[in-house]
Amino acid sequence: MHLLPEQATRHAVSIPELLVSRDERQARQHVWLARHPVPLVSFTVVAPGPIKDSELTRRLFNHGVTALHTLAAQADWLIMEQAALASASGPEGMLSIEAPARDIKLATIELEKTHPLGRLWDIDVLTPEGEILSRRHFALPARRCLLCEQNAAECARGKTHTLSFLINHMEALLHAADSRYAR
């Protein structure tokens, strides 16, 4: 289910393309839920800036896929179907998992908190009925900024940090994770 980093398009995506890509992802999610009436994990990479499909985002994605597989194996969850694709909005993964949606969401929240790259992943869990379980469902605060610990959405909206600084930090985190998990 991994994506080859060297095949990244490095296409600078426009806002209309991004919106279409997100609509297409939502349509794919509904098709998957109809095919497998079990919770669906929809996984993407947090990718600031206009280039969503890059070697960096694909490598981050591949680490996330490995972490999700490890999580499912440790919890003894059955992955019924899985797929990875590169879209205009970046790498995407979908996994139909036979387990309680609430348990999956709590475990993925913990994964996002504890894995060295977890804050660079966006892991959504959809119930078989198509409801997205969010952090709010569990009375958890909004995501924090990767750099300054403020509300991530506010930093993004206000362009508090330069794109180059964010990308450099993401690359440093990836390098550290590559070193840690290469052992």
- Residuewise pLDDT in 10s, the chain (183 residues): 888 888 989 999 999 999 999 999 999 999 999 999 999 999 999 999 999 999 999 999 999 999 999 999 999 999 999 999 999 899 999 999 999 999 999 999 999 999 999 999 999 999 999 999 988 877 888 888 888 888 888 888 888 899 999 999 999 999 998 888 765
**Is residue 161 domain-resident?**
no
Query: Can you tell me the distance from the alpha carbon of 39 to that of 66, in angstroms, rounded to the nearest whole number?
Result: 19
**Is residue 90 domain-resident?**
yes
pLDDT at 146: 84
pLDDT at 80: 96
**Is residue 146 domain-resident?**
no
Long-range contacts (CB closer than 8 Å, 24 or more residues apart) made by 20-29: 20/88, 21/87, 21/88, 21/89, 22/89, 24/87, 25/87, 25/89, 25/92, 28/94, 29/94, 29/126, 29/130
Q: What is the CATH number of the domain that holds 78?
A: 3.30.70.260
**Is residue 155 domain-resident?**
no
Domain extent for 112? 5-141
**Is residue 159 domain-resident?**
no
**Is residue 153 domain-resident?**
no
**Is residue 9 domain-resident?**
yes
pLDDT at 51: 95
**Is residue 149 domain-resident?**
no
How many domains, in total, are found in the chain? 1
